[in-house]
Structure 1
């Protein structure tokens, strides 16, 4: 299986980077092919310019990085996103990736004249996994902050364009839990992705 990982965290010593290492080891154990899209190292520009908005209307992206990512994602069978949740949402580069790559004519198209129904264009992709870290307790994030990532990312993006198999792995209270627990999470992550099929 070819797995594309979309990663966003600027600090190499972050727990997200440790997760990336664990996920990669698991996928390698299962002999999956990995394509890492590291938004920070790619210096991906998340800003939607007026030219990008015209391109949205015309369904023809103008950012060469978007075109590159399109060709890479067309070969993927599974997507894995890894990023931290900051102020209840994804970092700017991940949001920009959604804005500029999950784009009409690139990642999806409309199936009716009213442009209200969508279908995915990355036809090989069978499933999407999201892995996030945050310091907010799970119940607080769900009931007080309205599960913002689930609504915006899992439903408002990937459910809307037609991906039925979606999984969100939320690691909460990362700074507050013990080092032992953080290590167990990493071990569990490696085992989980060694079983991905």
Structure 2
């Protein structure tokens, strides 16, 4: 595959355009483009992604002939990606609701996983690498004491459906007390990783 054909999907979840998460999102997109990635910039809030699964969606969840219909365009974008970068803040030791809704509605049977004889098998084998860029309001110790569910979700089940693809987890802890210098250092850290992505 030629470098010019590399396709990265950036999935961003934060409603506030002047937020630090938004600055991280912009930096990720710009840096990937500078490295000749073709970027599909999926800003869930800007696209008004409907996060709530409907009754009918849940009823047809396991029917792979129709389950993608309500979110077909997002499934196609996901399946076209060679790499994915998630950019979002950790809120209440979890994803923002809109990102959780994206996983619920788009990471469907036949899309992100297949059920084979009752066993879950990875289906997002088109994704060769992925990264998470995130911030935590609390300290690393506080996250550790809570089991750090966001890190575990991204490094275990999400990685599994991508067939164990290489991944990076870039996190700024203690965001609530982060100085301008600390935020600038994290932006630089993210830039370096995206340049080598």
TM-score normalised by structure 2 residue count: 0.90
Decide whether aligned partners of structure 1 residues 195 and 22 sit closer, same or farther in structure 2, where only a CA change above 3 A counts: same
Partner of 1:61: 67
| Alignment partners' CA distance in 1, 2:178 and 2:159 | 31
Structure 2 gaps, min length 5: 1-5
* 8 Å Cα contact 1:81-1:131 kept in structure 2: yes
* 8 Å Cα contact 1:83-1:132 kept in structure 2: yes
23, 28, 31: which one aligns with 2:28:
23
| Alignment partners' CA distance in 2, 1:161 and 1:183 | 31
| Alignment partners' CA distance in 1, 2:164 and 2:89 | 22
* 8 Å Cα contact 1:129-1:166 kept in structure 2: yes
| Alignment partners' CA distance in 2, 1:140 and 1:99 | 27
Within the alignment, does 1:195 sit opposite 2:196 as a pair?
Answer: yes
Deviation for aligned residue 1:63:
5.3
Q: Find runs of 4+ consecutive structure 1 residues off by over 3 angstroms.
A: none
CA RMSD in angstroms comes to 1.6
| Alignment partners' CA distance in 2, 1:99 and 1:137 | 28
| Alignment partners' CA distance in 1, 2:162 and 2:34 | 31
89, 109, 121: which one aligns with 2:94:
89
Within the alignment, does 1:116 sit opposite 2:119 as a pair?
Answer: yes
Q: Relative contact order (alpha carbons < 8 A, sep ≥ 6): 1 or 2 greater?
A: 1
SS at match of 2:62: helix
| CA offset digits 1:28-65 (Å, max 9, x no partner) | 2211110011110111111122111122121232553x
Partner of 2:48: 43
SS at match of 1:37: strand
Partner of 1:133: 135
Judge which range, 32-41 or 21-30, deviates more.
21-30
Structure 1 gaps, min length 5: none
* 8 Å Cα contact 2:135-2:172 kept in structure 1: yes
| Alignment partners' CA distance in 2, 1:181 and 1:188 | 10
Within the alignment, does 1:34 sit opposite 2:34 as a pair?
Answer: no
Partner of 2:166: 165
SS at match of 1:117: strand
Partner of 2:157: 156
| Alignment partners' CA distance in 1, 2:182 and 2:172 | 11
TM-score normalised by structure 1 residue count: 0.90
| Alignment partners' CA distance in 2, 1:161 and 1:184 | 30
Aligned length: 191
